[in-house]
Structure 1
């Protein structure tokens, strides 16, 4: 319990300090574009009612989930194949590096031509942007599978799907989760960008509408909602990561203690 409380204090200290600095710095502000934090917090419950969360926040979360899940499945599957076969990797790497260098927001107008302006376009934008860190980290993780472990599995006749499940993916999973973590932050950014183009709901759409209507405190509340969403998703991701990679974190802790 004590350890949990100490960890909670460490997690909350910096946000509390930043909020206090923001409050003090903006307390006497008369700039219409930089309202006091107390005004923003007072406006927050009036703007983000249960109905608005249902009509704007929920669609954004669903699009993010669909795009992120698509990118995760495609990135891990393709990365495993590319990382497992040297010839496939030699053929694909130049193309992958080229495509990775193209900023996903630039593709929004192109995707709109093929997918329209509905949910499909927004999900595709998120998926295309998120897939690269997952794919490339999976490739590197699969390539870095311990040679002794691979030879041992081969000696015992562990092949095919059994080798993939019990040797390759567990060994590459720390690297895969590193890619998944990077993709999560990219996905939130692309979720907002995609909703700024021909959208009728969503967090990105709502923030832009507030800005165009000069409802500046309302706009700042939307930014706070996006920050809270990113924080909550990060916490959920850490919980899942610690559960899935419990063996890995335990091994690292044992190694540190032995030193």
Structure 2
């Protein structure tokens, strides 16, 4: 599944799209259906929802922002998939006030755990929305990537602060409320009753490479995309990734 917003956006989403594509394809084959029901919690304006709908899946987006949901509606209409995308206002804490339990083949929880009061509850709710043989796509900010970025920018005290802070924050001005290690995210997924199907580092290099190099050097973007893909599965690089992606699968679905 390629990102239609290429080129620069592909650096931020390519690894996640590839993993998600494979997981959904396996579930389509296993279920014997042409499309799936997907829940995108915190899905905003539809960066994932609209491309998924283009593939024929039915996607429900839950987001607390009315403005984001309005943008989602407009974006879905422009892509001619308005009949397969629906947006409802809500959040991870009150998820079942707006959607049904056990009603979805796949749940996306991207950029949500950083902002909820109780990440474990957020993951449990996402898992409770799954049908048997379901899959969870979890994407969250990585601790190591933030530490490395602050250090490379010369903010060594802030890097040290983030390294020792329980929430991985580098100071009062940090816009991200919480960051995670790969071990913390996999523990949340397993604690909610899922098996961990895969862990990938996202934006291992993309946020460190000067944009002018990627934009002007011939072949640089494709080469960087290939480098990101090659490093994504290697545990050594999870520790320095800007984001971490965990694929959680219901026990019976693992290896489908």
TM-score by length of 2: 0.24
Higher relative contact order (CA closer than 8 Å, sequence separation 6+): 1
Higher helix share: 1
TM-score by length of 1: 0.24
Structure ID, larger Rg: 1
